A and B are shown apart, each in its own frame.
Chain A
Amino acid sequence: MSTDRDDDKGPREATKKLRIKNITGSSKLIDFIFGIFCIYMIITYSNFINTIHVPIWDGAVFLLNAHEWLNNINLSEIYRPPLLSWIMDAIWVFTGEDWTTIIYVQMIFTIAGIILLYGLLRRKKGALFALGVSALTLTNAQLFFYTSQIRTEGISFFFVILTLYFLEGTKRAHWLFSGVSIGLTFAARYPILLQSMIIFVVESISKKDPKSAGKAVIAIVVVILLVVVIVYAKTGTFQMALEKDSNFGTSISPFYLVNATSIWGPAILLLPVAFLFKSTFKDKFNYVFIGWFIISFLSWSTNASNQQYRFTIQFMPAAYFLVMLAVKNLVKFDRNNLVFLKTTSSTLNK
């Protein structure tokens, strides 16, 4: 039985709900904010890139390699992945060899990756959630700095996101495209193949479509073989890294754990909270990000000789996805959602 007071409460609640929806839930408003954010970031990137007048060591090596690919000279550093140098050459074919024409390449790939990420997460988790993950990722200082340079972090980041985007597509042809994208991740930055493969494996398991997954595997193998054959034909060998940098699997280093707040900022402290809620494990989509984060984190931690903040760039979205998941669970806090509390019978009846 309702009272007059309760009756009054109905429309008031509805208005309030609408107002909240208008503030936080309006996708168009969030899209607009995201658009403004992207424009702001492009301006910030451009301003920062324009202050760099000498390419960093690796950037100069990629310039050299691009020059050498273009002029059919022996490569200076044969273990560098070739895709960035090929992209430079493709630009230089039109502009002539000028290093200033390629300084924005990484920025373009990174922003494109963020737009894809936003579009995907908006569809799956809502606009506000997508904005949170995208903003945290793109404003990360490590990601911003290294994707401002002539390097491969931003390009490989883009192909990892593109892989995920295609795997979340609805058409069967998307599997084939995802295979190509995984192959290009390898061409962009060899070790990042693992991250695209994790996403592929998790999606393959959850979607249970072995025929399409098989097509993707064929595409992966073809693209990787093509890259290896081209590099082999050019250099007479195929080397993926310096020997001193490839000591994987000997022991687990706490480097990324100890420096987590310096790498991802204090937001990372919320990441473990995501695992306290049952809802984290209910949505199959979350498993992609859980697997992506945990395996990438562990794989870099097993490199005993070369540990750097920038190695975490490609799985930044996975880390911030879990952070946002924690925030979402905290905002919608429900005691029965906690993993260590058994659901009571009354709750089950509800």
Chain B
Amino acid sequence: MKNIRVVLCSFAILALSIIVIPPFLEIPEMGSSWRKDGKFVAALQEISKIIPENEVLVSASYDPAIYYFTNHNLQIPSKGISYNSLLNFMKKDNYLYLLIIEGKYNVPRGFTFDLQLTNLTKDFKEIATYTTDFKIIQLYKRIV
């Protein structure tokens, strides 16, 4: 009887180990890979220093991480906006700064700008470009 218990006990421990180990090994792969971008936060913190205090940042989507690390209010134009509408949106409220993030990026509640970036040079001046592990972050200032 005791032998049976030892066998059962060993079997239980072995079974639990088999149950526990495979899902645990998957943990490093969990979550979005772009969250492992080691340069993203530093780039946003750099941007926060470039933009004057109280200036608003226009971005394609709201992300609390951008808001927190740039330390500037974000304004998000309505979905599906064209280049001219974006320009008018910024002119109307006198917004000067535009943030464009390209590459692997999570935009859960928004969208990415569908803009021909070459057009931007007509009305915007490129202030800074940061190439991070997964993204290219560009900061533009509207020419007034």
Q: Are A63 and B40 in contact (CB under 8 A)?
A: no
Q: Are B35 and A17 in contact (CB under 8 A)?
A: no
Option from B8, B37, B108 in Cβ contact (under 8 Å) with A331: B8
Option from A48, A61, A76, A265 in Cβ contact (under 8 Å) with B23: A265
Chain A CB within 8 A of B30 CB: yes
Q: Are B26 and A141 in contact (CB under 8 A)?
A: yes
- What separation, in Å, do the CA atoms of A104 and B14 have in the docked complex? 32
Q: Which residues in chain A, 136-160, are within 8 Å of chain B measured between CB atoms?
A: 136, 139-141, 144-145
The verdict on A67 contacting B68 (CB below 8 Å), with A54-B35, A57-B63 known, is yes
The verdict on A53 contacting B27 (CB below 8 Å), with A60-B64, A61-B64, A139-B20 known, is no
Option from B30, B34, B65 in Cβ contact (under 8 Å) with A55: B65
| Residues 49-69 of chain B, each 1 if its beta carbon lies under 8 Å from chain A, else 0 | 000000000000001110110
Q: Which residues in chain B, 1-49, are within 8 Å of chain A measured between CB atoms?
A: 2, 5-6, 8-9, 12, 16, 19-20, 23-24, 26-28, 30-32, 34-41
- What separation, in Å, do the CA atoms of A108 and B28 have in the docked complex? 19
Q: Are B38 and A141 in contact (CB under 8 A)?
A: no
Q: Are A53 and B40 in contact (CB under 8 A)?
A: yes
Report B-chain residues with C-beta under 8 Å of the C-beta of A222.
Answer: none
- What separation, in Å, do the CA atoms of A151 and B36 have in the docked complex? 17
- What separation, in Å, do the CA atoms of A64 and B71 have in the docked complex? 9
The verdict on A76 contacting B40 (CB below 8 Å), with A53-B35, A56-B31, A331-B12 known, is no
Q: Are A141 and B12 in contact (CB under 8 A)?
A: no
Report B-chain residues with C-beta under 8 Å of the C-beta of A24.
Answer: 6, 9
Residue of B nearest to A23 (CB): B6
The verdict on A57 contacting B108 (CB below 8 Å), with A16-B2, A48-B27, A136-B20 known, is yes
Option from B8, B24, B67 in Cβ contact (under 8 Å) with A141: B24
Option from A13, A64, A139, A141 in Cβ contact (under 8 Å) with B64: A64
| Residues 67-111 of chain B, each 1 if its beta carbon lies under 8 Å from chain A, else 0 | 110000000000000000000000000000000000000101000
The verdict on A331 contacting B27 (CB below 8 Å), with A53-B38, A60-B67, A76-B64 known, is no
Report A-chain residues with C-beta under 8 Å of the C-beta of B8.
Answer: 330-331, 333
Report B-chain residues with C-beta under 8 Å of the C-beta of A298.
Answer: none
- What separation, in Å, do the CA atoms of A54 and B2 have in the docked complex? 54
- What separation, in Å, do the CA atoms of A266 and B39 have in the docked complex? 39
Q: Are A53 and B12 in contact (CB under 8 A)?
A: no
Report B-chain residues with C-beta under 8 Å of the C-beta of A23.
Answer: 6
Q: Are A139 and B65 in contact (CB under 8 A)?
A: no
Q: Are B36 and A51 in contact (CB under 8 A)?
A: yes
Q: Are A64 and B19 in contact (CB under 8 A)?
A: no
Report B-chain residues with C-beta under 8 Å of the C-beta of A332.
Answer: 5
- What separation, in Å, do the CA atoms of A67 and B70 have in the docked complex? 13
Chain B CB within 8 A of A38 CB: no
Report B-chain residues with C-beta under 8 Å of the C-beta of A57.
Answer: 63-65, 106, 108
Q: Which of A54, A64, A144, A333 has the most chain B CB within a 10 Å cutoff? A: A54
Q: Are B41 and A53 in contact (CB under 8 A)?
A: yes
B residues with a Cβ closer than 8 A to A are 2, 5-6, 8-9, 12, 16, 19-20, 23-24, 26-28, 30-32, 34-41, 63-65, 67-68, 106, 108
- Residue contacts A-B, CB under 8 angstroms, 5 given: A24-B9, A55-B35, A76-B67, A141-B26, A265-B23
